[in-house]
Chains A and B, each alone.
Chain A
Amino acid sequence: MVSRILMFVLLAVVLATAALGGWVAPHDPTAPLGAPWRGAGPEHPLGTDALGRDVWSRVLAGGAGLISVSVLAALTASFVGVAGGLAAGWAGGALDRAATALTDLLLAVPSLLLALVVAVALPGHTAVVVATVCGGAPLTLRVVRDAVRSISGAGYVEAARCRGESGAAILVREVLPAMKGVVTADLGLRLVVALQIASALNVLGFGPSPPEPDWALMLRENMVGVAMNPWSVAAPAAALGLTTVLLALSVQLAADRDPVAPRWRRRNVHVGL
């Protein structure tokens, strides 16, 4: 219980920092302020980078874009996967087979490769969403479809059929709430993978262009000066890592509160690109 509260406080702090950091940053994150590669000091708590910009301000301002695009991508992937899984699991038959075949096809394409190909043609944000949906929605669909199939034999679903509820009403009122644990746990995994894809694209330079502050971009820019100011690389890396872990853990904890489908959680841990 205590660990759960602590977790949510930490998550709130990290998210608030990422979202509002740009406003509270002590300096303009894009303005050159002093000598390049200065170490940590009273004026610049995490030193400066190659152009003499304040690393602390850039870390504060550099998470919003990354997190928002990842959350958007994860929610889209989860929504597509849940909708597809509900339809496939409930309808069965030809639709089920078609959906399963399509997921197999999509799973055969590495998401990062797909992201790179899409990023050449479209803006980086779109590439993240497309890659997360194509790589993640099939996994969600599989999990949800199996859960629907097992839930649809339950007594409460039969009772709903016996009182003439429509298929859509049964899915929304009975089936979906019964597997919210599965869906939430799965959303956590989608979130982690989306963050991975987004940061990978940004490191490779498909994301925001240089003067913009961005954790992943900072990793790439500051690598040349890591010997002179280690914080310039360590700080954005730590921010990225901490955010990912906290997001994943808090979603997992939220799912753990749900006693409905405990068996699902451990069996369906698909993390990967």
Chain B
Amino acid sequence: MSGYEVTGLHVVDRSGRTIVGPVDLDAPTGSVVAVMGASGGGKTSAVLGALDALPAGLRRVGGHVRWEGSPVPPGRAARRWRRDRAGLLGQDPASDLHPLRTVTGLVLEGLPGGPRRRRVEAAHRILGRLGLDAAEVAHRRPHELSGGQAQRVALARAIVGDPALLVLDEPTSGLDPATLERVIEVLADRRGAAGRATIVITHDRAFAERVADTVVVLGEVPPGPPLPADAAPGGEGAAVLELRSLAVDAPGGGPALLGGVDLAVSPGEFVAVVGPSGSGKSTLLRAVAGLHPPRAGTVTVAGGEAPVAVADRGRDLLRAVQFVGQDPMGALHPSHRVGAVLARPARLLLGASREEARDRAVALIAEVGLPADVIDRPPGGLSGGQRQRVAIARALAADPDVLLADEVTSALDARSARTVLDLLDALRAERGLAVLLVTHDRAVAARADRVLTVDPERRTLLPAPAVSGAR
């Protein structure tokens, strides 16, 4: 047997609770292996444990790793092996990028040695393959990249050195379909290559089936992608959210992204915004939430014009518009327990008593599909998908009229994503919650009443041709 073999791997946390294991994982050379499983099921921990790259607090207590038949002992040897042979794309690539390096410099980290000019050419070629214009982004730093662009830069860094073992943790979250095709092409090239093994951690079943020779499932089997549900009643009555000629620039005084966006969202309506990454979708949502000053235009909520800055908005307006951001890792305060996080909006915005807020928090935890015991835990022990659901619950705790959601299902496995989308559907039907959601996932967009595409040329939102069903 050749390739990367992991046997009996067992990872525990500080208190000795098993996170994952014992797990066996075989990635023969020339193959692509997909690791799937429910969010919070220990997919990432299993693979990082094998590579001895576990975050603080997690420990590998058992298991053997072999590469091409020779053992890779844990500890220093494994770390050296990882540095020499492995390319790793983390789950949260944006925060793995050094904030002061340019894109070229970041990609070169994955390609040590050799004449600089040739390395730069190789780096730019890889960026081009992933659909980034090297001439345009080469000198940017991470804060000038969108989430999807940062994801691709991190991916380029992982693959540029053509590592013996390539590990990609959720490489597809935050990518638009065109870019996804390019990633699939890159993975297809590694298929059958001598001495090259690839492990992909994903919750996207369609992606796993396309790229992988073998699919390993940890924990219970996740069901298929979220299916389009019957559209909730929507599109009637006066608009609850209205954007008039809203124009936004890139954060930090960058170039103009969108100009003259006109959009009306009715109560109960679900509007999805899709488009290439870096086209200003997230910035648009942030501008509506009052977190990013727009260049021009107005935002009207329930008939009244909303101040552009969140600090100037009154309590009722704050309650009415809630925002869930893109980055689940930074969304929760490291020292606030989940229960407190969920109780606070109800206390502040709904004037609920301590007990009411607590009851509401308990109910929300169950509604987003999290186990009840997370309520007393700090977010440190939660996975990306669990954090994302806490962040969604926090926004729903305020009982909003409009939910602005940025890529909220990208960190979720299919079942959790469906739970969340079903919950949103129920709230739309019961209370007329309007949802404005940015996504790259066609299956999610297919559940929307309307899909709008960002047209980067004309810098505006256009109605998309009816998106055909998932897959």
In the bound complex, do residue B332 and residue A177 qualify as a contact, i.e. CB atoms below 8 Å apart? no
Question: Would you list which residues of chain A between 118 and 170 have a CB under 8 Å from chain B?
Answer: 154-156, 158-159, 161-165
In the bound complex, do residue A158 and residue B291 qualify as a contact, i.e. CB atoms below 8 Å apart? yes
B391 interfacial contact with A, CB 8 Å: yes
B335 to chain A: closest residue by CB: A177
In the bound complex, do residue A156 and residue B336 qualify as a contact, i.e. CB atoms below 8 Å apart? yes
A176-191: CB near B (< 8 Å → 1, else 0) gives: 0110100000000000
B77 interfacial contact with A, CB 8 Å: no
Shortest CB–CB separation between residue B325 and chain A, in angstroms?
A: 5
Question: Would you list which residues of chain A between 161 and 214 have a CB under 8 Å from chain B?
Answer: 161-165, 174, 177-178, 180
In the bound complex, do residue A259 and residue B325 qualify as a contact, i.e. CB atoms below 8 Å apart? no
Shortest CB–CB separation between residue B153 and chain A, in angstroms?
A: 19
Question: What chain A residues lie within 8 Å of B349 (beta carbons)?
Answer: 163-164
A260 to chain B: closest residue by CB: B334
In the bound complex, do residue A155 and residue B325 qualify as a contact, i.e. CB atoms below 8 Å apart? yes
> In the complex the two chains form, what is the Cα distance from A259 to B14 in whole Å?
13
Question: What chain B residues lie within 8 Å of A155 (beta carbons)?
Answer: 325, 327-328, 330-332, 391
> In the complex the two chains form, what is the Cα distance from A154 to B321 in whole Å?
19
Question: What chain B residues lie within 8 Å of A156 (beta carbons)?
Answer: 330-333, 336, 341
- A155-B325, A158-B291, A259-B57 in contact; A163/B333 too (CB < 8 A)? no
B310 to chain A: closest residue by CB: A161
A159 to chain B: closest residue by CB: B394
> In the complex the two chains form, what is the Cα distance from A178 to B341 in whole Å?
14
In the bound complex, do residue A161 and residue B291 qualify as a contact, i.e. CB atoms below 8 Å apart? yes
> In the complex the two chains form, what is the Cα distance from A270 to B290 in whole Å?
38
In the bound complex, do residue B333 and residue A178 qualify as a contact, i.e. CB atoms below 8 Å apart? yes
Shortest CB–CB separation between residue A249 and chain B, in angstroms?
A: 20
In the bound complex, do residue A163 and residue B318 qualify as a contact, i.e. CB atoms below 8 Å apart? yes
> In the complex the two chains form, what is the Cα distance from A159 to B56 in whole Å?
26
What is the number of residues of chain A that contact chain B, defined by CB distance less than 8 Å?
A: 16
Question: What chain B residues lie within 8 Å of A180 (beta carbons)?
Answer: 335
B196 interfacial contact with A, CB 8 Å: no
B380-420: CB near A (< 8 Å → 1, else 0) gives: 10000000000100110010000000000000000000000
What is the number of residues of chain B that contact chain A, defined by CB distance less than 8 Å?
A: 33
B311 interfacial contact with A, CB 8 Å: yes
In the bound complex, do residue A164 and residue B318 qualify as a contact, i.e. CB atoms below 8 Å apart? yes
Question: Would you list which residues of chain B between 315 and 349 have a CB under 8 Å from chain A?
Answer: 315, 318, 321-323, 325, 327-328, 330-336, 341, 344-345, 348-349
Question: What chain B residues lie within 8 Å of A177 (beta carbons)?
Answer: 333, 335-336
> In the complex the two chains form, what is the Cα distance from A156 to B325 in whole Å?
10
- Which of A159, A161, A260 is in CB contact (< 8 Å) with B311? A161
Question: What chain B residues lie within 8 Å of A154 (beta carbons)?
Answer: 330-331
B289 interfacial contact with A, CB 8 Å: yes
B313 interfacial contact with A, CB 8 Å: yes
A174 to chain B: closest residue by CB: B333
**Dominant secondary structure at the A interface:** helix
Question: What chain A residues lie within 8 Å of B315 (beta carbons)?
Answer: 164
In the bound complex, do residue A162 and residue B323 qualify as a contact, i.e. CB atoms below 8 Å apart? yes
Shortest CB–CB separation between residue B158 and chain A, in angstroms?
A: 22
Question: What chain B residues lie within 8 Å of A164 (beta carbons)?
Answer: 313, 315, 318, 348-349
Question: What chain B residues lie within 8 Å of A260 (beta carbons)?
Answer: 334-335
Shortest CB–CB separation between residue B218 and chain A, in angstroms?
A: 25
Shortest CB–CB separation between residue A177 and chain B, in angstroms?
A: 5
Question: What chain A residues lie within 8 Å of B380 (beta carbons)?
Answer: 259
- A154-B330, A155-B391, A259-B380 in contact; A162/B335 too (CB < 8 A)? no
- Which of B56, B325, B336, B344 is in CB contact (< 8 Å) with A163? B344
Question: What chain A residues lie within 8 Å of B333 (beta carbons)?
Answer: 156, 174, 177-178
Question: Would you list which residues of chain B between 271 and 321 have a CB under 8 Å from chain A?
Answer: 289-291, 310-311, 313, 315, 318, 321
- Which of A162, A165, A174, A259 is in CB contact (< 8 Å) with B291? A162
A262 to chain B: closest residue by CB: B56
Shortest CB–CB separation between residue A156 and chain B, in angstroms?
A: 4
Shortest CB–CB separation between residue B436 and chain A, in angstroms?
A: 15
> In the complex the two chains form, what is the Cα distance from A57 to B200 in whole Å?
69
In the bound complex, do residue B334 and residue A162 qualify as a contact, i.e. CB atoms below 8 Å apart? no
In the bound complex, do residue A163 and residue B345 qualify as a contact, i.e. CB atoms below 8 Å apart? yes
Shortest CB–CB separation between residue B411 and chain A, in angstroms?
A: 13
Shortest CB–CB separation between residue A43 and chain B, in angstroms?
A: 52
Question: What chain A residues lie within 8 Å of B311 (beta carbons)?
Answer: 161
> In the complex the two chains form, what is the Cα distance from A154 to B291 in whole Å?
12
In the bound complex, do residue B331 and residue A162 qualify as a contact, i.e. CB atoms below 8 Å apart? no
B344 to chain A: closest residue by CB: A163
Question: Would you list which residues of chain B between 121 and 142 have a CB under 8 Å from chain A?
Answer: none
Question: What chain A residues lie within 8 Å of B325 (beta carbons)?
Answer: 155, 158-159
> In the complex the two chains form, what is the Cα distance from A177 to B378 in whole Å?
13
B314 to chain A: closest residue by CB: A164
Shortest CB–CB separation between residue A232 and chain B, in angstroms?
A: 47
Shortest CB–CB separation between residue B54 and chain A, in angstroms?
A: 13
- Which of B56, B341, B398 is in CB contact (< 8 Å) with A259? B56
A54-98: CB near B (< 8 Å → 1, else 0) gives: 000000000000000000000000000000000000000000000
> In the complex the two chains form, what is the Cα distance from A159 to B393 in whole Å?
12
Question: What chain A residues lie within 8 Å of B56 (beta carbons)?
Answer: 259
- A154-B330, A155-B331, A155-B391 in contact; A162/B336 too (CB < 8 A)? no
12 further interface pairs, Cβ-Cβ under 8 Å (given A158-B325, A159-B394, A163-B345):
A155-B327, A156-B341, A158-B323, A159-B323, A159-B395, A161-B311, A162-B310, A162-B318, A162-B321, A165-B348, A178-B335, A259-B56
What 5 pairs between A and B have smallest CB-CB spacing?
A: A155-B331, A156-B333, A155-B330, A164-B318, A154-B330
Sample (25) of A-B pairs whose CB atoms are under 8 Å apart: A154-B330, A154-B331, A155-B330, A155-B391, A156-B331, A156-B333, A158-B323, A158-B325, A159-B325, A159-B391, A159-B394, A159-B395, A162-B318, A162-B321, A162-B322, A162-B323, A163-B344, A163-B398, A174-B333, A177-B333, A177-B336, A178-B333, A178-B334, A259-B57, A260-B334
